[in-house]
Structure 1
Amino acid sequence: MTTDDATDADAAGADPRAWFAVGDDESPTDRVRNGTADAPADWPTLAVESGFADDEDDYYAALREATLAATRAEVNERERADDRQLLHAVRAMDDAERVANELAERVSEWAGTLFPDAGTGVEGCRELAERDPDGPAEERVVSLATRVAELDREADELEAFIESRAPVAAPNLAAMAGPVLAARLISLAGGLETLAKKPSGTLQVLGAEDALFAHLRGHGSSPKHGVIYTHEYVRGTRPEDRGSASRALAGKLTIGARIDHYSGDYRPELEAELDERMRTIRARAGDDGGDPE
């Protein structure tokens, strides 16, 4: 071994390019996640010569453990990010609402056989939950009604959480789409980063995948919008202009998502530009012109 090689071996544990260091059990994970090397190196040999590993097999075993730990740390960090919390919250809210409504139908049907004045839906369950049951059957119905009321209340609390967190995680998207729709778009895309990388045409039809696939199979027309239909700028626009409204909204939301992900700066001018564009589209109400659909 040359003097230079020996120097490299002795310094391997302190070399900022190396992911390993003798006697350091904590840093390897961070070094695997964040480290870089300007040029390839014979890391197994350096690890053995520095005393970090007994042999090449030992080196690769340690490398495997370090990379697994780095991957777990990266996944945990990503899952705790604000946009991932919104993703889980909006999905939980939708699940809570769906289950509450489905169970409310069952409760209403059952309660109708026991309480002649029983109401229907979630509101009927709230009223039933306040009753004093008389007998085992009524106890079960009142208990189920209580669960429905609790689920509905949980859905409301999840919505409040989304409304408070969305402006932090995605300020521009939340300002233009509204907190809940912003969270739903993030959820459908699988995260803010994924949403930011999508073209506006894809964002425009998020949530309309079934209709899009049917169109691609030749069984229907191309959808003009997906979940963004719930936005007032689309839903409140006359049908013949909804395609234009959807494109305008999707275009600005895409820009907003990219700014939110890459810089996080709030740009109020985006919302102002969207408002102006929608005024132009809606002004066509008395005009035969407009973009072809």
Structure 2
Amino acid sequence: MTTDESVPETASRAWFAGGDENPPADRVRDGDADTPADWPALAVASGFATDDENYYAKLRDTTVEAARAAVDERERADDRQLLHAVRAMDDAERVANELAERVAEWAGTLFPDAGTGVDGCHDLAARDSEGPAEERVIALASRVVDLDSEADELETFIESRAPVAAPNLAALAGPVLAARLISLAGGLETLAKKPSGTVQVLGAEDALFAHLRGHGSSPKHGVIYTHEYVRGTRPEDRGSASRALAGKLSIAARIDHYSGDYRPELEAELDDRMRTIRARAGDGGAASDDGGATDE
């Protein structure tokens, strides 16, 4: 690159300028300019490009490289790892249960005392085979056991990583529900930008769309139903509990994304609000042991 003093000083701050350790792709991602400039002409004058066409070809290659680097960096972020982990956990559990049904049906023709479900597969996997058919059933049961174990290990991973990626969200929702909310939203940043009303019904999209088409009532909660503060509250108060929880979860997601510092007062505020909601019932507002007769 030329060092001709006639080259405008603006070019020395351009994305294509040399003289520092940052590659052009990094300068495209992180750089800025105080005022607009004729960048193709500056690039030609500085010796970076032979003409305008050559400049734009190099610009395209550099921006593509910068975009790829940004995508790679984003995919390695903690919240993205949680997203993939919780989806993998759900897939492992779903496939294990589906395969366990097949194993139970087949094993019932070979072992009169064969159990059912994933637990039944654990028992079958410990047996010795006495023929080709039994060998295949036992091998299939072993695959179910492996998937079940993998789901448990993924849950352990989520429980260890969620408090790092989203400390406030994990504290309020629990690690698995926090990861599930991040997954449903498509990332922590996206979740942080959603209003609390949307967070409240994440996971209930089918019911929401049915309501919008006039085919059902508006859902009061989505996946946050699994939280004890919703599931464990009597049915008539679950709407209020869902709104209270979703409001704090929205705030937690924003703090986690924009600052990352842990705010224990959020938990205290949520606990206080839930005590008020549950106090509406003479027994404290808790649902019955089966979680209440009505799933709103």
TM-score (norm 1): 0.92
Please show how residues 211-290 of structure 1 align to structure 2 within 5 Å.
211-286=207-282
Aligned residue in 2 for 1:174: 170
Q: Please point out which of 77, 86, 90 is paired with 1:90.
A: 86
Is it true that 1:9 corresponds to 2:7 in the alignment? yes
1:3 aligned partner: none
Taking structure 1 as reference, are residues 257 and 8 closer, same or farther at Cα in structure 2, changes over 3 Å only? farther
d(CA) in 2 for partners of 1:199, 1:77: 27
Name the CA shift for 1:217/1:8 in 2 (closer, same or farther; >3 Å).
farther
Residue 10 of structure 1: CA displacement?
6.0
Number of residue equivalences: 281
Aligned-residue offset at 1:8: 5.9
1:210 paired with 2:206, answer: yes
**What whole-Å deviation, never above 9, does each CA across 1:38-57 have from its counterpart, x for those lacking one?**
11111111111111111111
- Verify: 1:76 aligned to 2:72, yes or no: yes
CA contact (8 A) 1:9 1:47 kept: no
Runs of 4+ in 1 over 4 A off after TM superposition: 10-13, 22-26
* TM-score between the two structures when normalised by the length of structure 2: 0.92
1:158 is aligned to: 154
CA shift in 2, pair 1:98/1:284, >3 Å? same
> Once the 2 structures are TM-superposed, how far is the Cα of residue 9 of structure 1 from its aligned partner?
2.2
CA offset at residue 21 of structure 1? 2.7
Could you tell me the percent identity over the aligned residues? Answer: 82
Judged with a 3 Å threshold, the aligned counterparts in structure 2 of structure 1 residues 89 and 101 are, in CA distance, closer, same or farther, namely same
Aligned CA distance change for structure 1 residues 24 and 271 (closer, same or farther; 3 Å): closer
Q: Structure 1, residues 59-115: CA drift from partner, whole Å, max 9, x if none? A: 111100100000000001111110000000000000000000000000000000011
Change (3 A) 1:42 1:232: same
The one-letter code sitting in structure 1 at the alignment partner of 2:252 is G
Matches within 5 A, 1:7-86: 7=5, 9=7, 11=9, 15-16=12-13, 18-21=14-17, 27-86=23-82
In the superposition, relative to structure 1, how do residues 8 and 283 fare at CA in structure 2: closer, same or farther (>3 Å)?
Answer: farther
Unaligned stretches of 5+ residues in structure 2: 284-295
Q: Output the aligned Cα RMSD.
A: 1.7
Distance 1:229 1:37 in 2: 49
